[in-house]
């Protein structure tokens, strides 16, 4: 057994300080106390504050290799999401399994360095570069799980049903690696993904549709009706104005309108982006108890738009955060982008507020942690609990802004006044994965990543 002594740990009811937390050989919490644990032979004193690790609820790992490379523009008003997508397709057609694993391991190690301890990997790079299925249908998914295991990150693998090139359109040549032609093909892919996850205790699976434009709508209904309950289901929806226009032309309804009218949407659903909504659609999502996964840095980078967060929250709506294309990886920065966007359009400063949680940092972190866990298939709402893996970000108690703050000000100080320099490191399964800003396997991970990037030649 190992015991950590922190200056404080965050609990659902506030700070426990001082705090002692003991873990077993598997990194599961055995005791939490504000008094010294007796008879411990392995005590590590940490001059820091521990908060639960974040869940990254939307990731396309392979896109990390192109972060920053889609910023050369042909002229004014000539670049948008659809132009960016062509650059993404070029990369998607280039990576082999070894290269994908190397890119994912580098990305995942950086996620952990920034404070993420679990990721929902929205995975649609299924087949070989020529579009042929691998002998193991879960080959590419297995590389993502292997990358997560290598760096100590937990992963929810979301094998994506991708079938169409648009509403009523066949897929185009650039999408050949993504395609499952029928629901039976998708079920086989999902089962292969389940098998992949069995070898890593930190892995599980969720269902996913690329989008309504990417799957035959009758097959969307079929999978929603056939699926196992209590497993999360993720879907891109209402991200782009053109997507909405095409949906209306094809179905007579907007995307969220069609979804909530056509299938039984509930709290298993995690709607990614959901940027462009009518008031009726906002209300329908909230009423269904579905969650929204917002990706502030990517949505800003792509020029998607701003999610109607204030209205959604007023109706009891719940949300989490993803980093999508990984142009940003700092969880506190994602929250700031989200908050400040809302302040700019509302001219109000109380984006993160409820009657129960009036401190902005407290509200935002609580919302994200609980909703993020649901996106991973975990309904546990207690921040740290006996029998749970000890996964935490540790903040430097000696940092000037932190050392001078009262406990009631700490979370908003972390959120609004600091950067990653404040973090002492990240612990997953009771072990330091990142300490003093460096991942314990950084040299190996970087070596493989640099070789893969040189082979692909993208940068």
310: left (phi over 0), alpha (psi -120 to 50) or beta: alpha
What pLDDT is recorded for position 78?
Answer: 64
Residue reference for tokens 């204030």? 310
> Which two three-digit tokens encode residue 385?
């609990």
- Of 58, 270, 273, 326, the catalytic one is 273
What pLDDT is recorded for position 69?
Answer: 84
pLDDT tens digits, 70-129: 887 777 766 677 777 888 888 999 999 999 999 999 999 999 999 999 999 999 999 999
pLDDT tens digits, 356-391: 999 999 999 999 999 999 999 999 999 999 999 999
DSSP H stretches of helix in 152-262? 183-197, 217-226, 241-251, 255-262
> For this structure, is 326 an active site residue?
no
What pLDDT is recorded for position 118?
Answer: 98
CA atoms of 247 and 314, how far apart (whole Å): 28
| pLDDT of 300 higher than 70 | yes
What pLDDT is recorded for position 410?
Answer: 98
Tell me what the mean pLDDT of segment 167-193 comes to. Answer: 97
For the chain, domain boundaries: 2-52+383-443, 54-375
Contacts of 307 (CB under 8 A, 6+ apart): 273, 274, 275, 277, 292, 294, 299, 319
186 with 161: CB under 8 angstroms?
A: yes
The kind and range of the H/E element at 15 are: strand 14-16
| pLDDT of 195 higher than 70 | yes
pLDDT tens digits, 199-235: 999 999 999 999 999 999 999 999 999 999 899 999 9
- Of 246, 324, 396, 448, the catalytic one is 324
Q: Give the confidence band of 37 by pLDDT, cuts at 50, 70, 90.
A: low
pLDDT tens digits, 426-436: 999 999 999 99
What pTM did the predictor assign? 0.96
> For this structure, is 273 an active site residue?
yes
For residue 21, give the nearest of 384, 432, 427 by alpha carbon: 384
What pLDDT is recorded for position 39?
Answer: 59
* Mean per-residue pLDDT over the chain, rounded: 95
CA atoms of 111 and 173, how far apart (whole Å): 32
Tell me what the mean pLDDT of segment 21-46 comes to. Answer: 88
Q: What percent of the chain has pLDDT over 90?
A: 92
Give the range among 69-78, 332-341, 438-447 with minimum mean pLDDT.
69-78
What pLDDT is recorded for position 40?
Answer: 66
| pLDDT of 403 higher than 80 | yes
What pLDDT is recorded for position 52?
Answer: 98
**What is the domain class of 2-52+383-443 according to CATH?**
mainly beta
Length of the chain: 459
Say if domain 54-375 classifies as CATH 3.20.20.140: yes
């Amino acid at each position: 057994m190992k015991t950590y002594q922190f200056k404080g740990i965050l609990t659902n009811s506030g700070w426990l300080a001082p705090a002692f937390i003991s873990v077993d050989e598997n990194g599961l919490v055995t005791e939490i106390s504000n008094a010294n644990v007796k008879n411990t032979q392995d005590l590590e004193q940490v001059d820091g504050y521990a908060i639960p690790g974040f869940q990254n609820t939307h990731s396309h790992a392979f896109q990390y290799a192109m972060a920053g490379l889609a910023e050369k523009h042909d002229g004014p008003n000539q670049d948008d999401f659809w132009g960016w997508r062509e650059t993404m397709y070029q990369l998607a057609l280039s990576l082999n399994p070894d290269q994908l694993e190397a890119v994912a391991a580098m990305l995942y190690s950086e996620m952990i360095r920034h404070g993420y301890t679990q990721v929902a990997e929205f995975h649609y790079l299924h087949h070989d570069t020529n579009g042929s299925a691998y002998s193991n249908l879960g080959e590419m998914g297995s590389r993502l799980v292997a990358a997560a295991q290598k760096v100590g990150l937990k992963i929810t693998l979301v094998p994506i049903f991708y079938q169409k090139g648009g509403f009523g359109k066949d897929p185009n040549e650039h999408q050949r690696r993504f395609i499952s032609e029928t629901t039976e093909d998708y079920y086989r892919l999902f089962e292969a993904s389940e098998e992949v996850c069995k070898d890593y205790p930190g892995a599980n699976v969720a269902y996913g549709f690329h989008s309504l434009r990417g799957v035959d709508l009758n097959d969307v209904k079929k999978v929603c009706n056939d699926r196992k309950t209590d497993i999360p289901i993720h879907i891109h929806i209402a991200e782009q104005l053109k997507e909405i226009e095409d949906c209306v032309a094809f179905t007579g309804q907007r995307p969220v309108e069609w979804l909530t009218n056509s299938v039984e949407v509930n709290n298993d659903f995690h709607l990614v982006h959901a940027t462009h909504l009518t008031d009726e659609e906002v209300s329908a999502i909230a009423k269904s108890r579905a969650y929204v996964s917002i990706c502030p840095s990517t949505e800003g980078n792509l020029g998607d738009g701003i999610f109607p967060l204030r209205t959604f929250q007023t109706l009891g709506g719940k949300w989490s955060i993803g980093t999508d294309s990984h142009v940003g990886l700092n969880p506190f920065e994602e929250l700031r982008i989200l908050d400040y966007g809302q302040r700019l359009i509302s001219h109000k400063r109380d984006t993160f507020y409820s009657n129960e949680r009036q401190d902005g940092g407290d509200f935002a972190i609580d919302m994200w942690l609980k909703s993020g866990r649901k996106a991973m298939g975990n309904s546990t709402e207690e921040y740290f609990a006996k029998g749970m893996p000890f996964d935490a970000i540790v903040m430097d108690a000696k940092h000037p802004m932190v050392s001078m703050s009262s406990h009631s000000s700490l979370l908003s100080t972390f959120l609004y006044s600091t950067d990653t320099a404040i973090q002492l490191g990240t612990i997953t399964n009771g072990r330091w994965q990142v300490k003093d800003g460096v991942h314990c396997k950084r040299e190996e991970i970087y070596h493989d990543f640099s070789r893969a990037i040189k082979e692909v030649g993208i940068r």
